[in-house]
Amino acid sequence: MEVFVDKTKCTGCDHCKDVCPVAVFEMYDKTAAEVNNDSAPENMKWKGTDDPAVVKEWGNVNDGHTHFKTKSVAINGPTCILCQACLIECEGACIHIKDDSGTTYQSTYK
């Protein structure tokens, strides 16, 4: 199982970490060296700029979560059991999963 996060779209909401039953995700300050420690393709790695459309949608939301200070990193992707809880809860629609048969899944916020 391969799991990665598009850092440009990650809002840092913690939902993926909160709902994952097998601890695939960890949150890192967006300035931390570990922020790109998953298998995200180069164009989805953190380079210091959030997707403007995601910021427009989530930048002023006050829902008890801190937005745009941390980024999710799929540090334990191979442990994923494909329950898809993270895919449902992800605000930024930034989580990508590729199962062992090659089927891909992407988060879409409920």
pLDDT digits (tens, 9 = 90+) for 54-107: 999 999 888 887 889 999 999 999 999 999 999 999 988 999 999 999 999 999
Burial class (CB in 10 A: 0-12, 13-18, 19+), 55: middle
The verdict on pTM exceeding 0.85 is yes
- How long is the chain? 110
Task: From 26, 50, 48, 29, select the one nearest 38 (Cα to Cα).
Answer: 26
Q: What is the pLDDT of residue 110?
A: 61
Q: Which CATH architecture has domain 2-106?
A: 2-Layer Sandwich (3.30)
pLDDT tier for residue 108 given thresholds of 50, 70 and 90 = confident
Q: What is the pLDDT of residue 13?
A: 92
What is the residue-wise DSSP string for 11-54? ----HHHHH-TT--EEEEETTSGGGG-S---GGGS-SS---HHH
Spans of all domains in the chain: 2-106
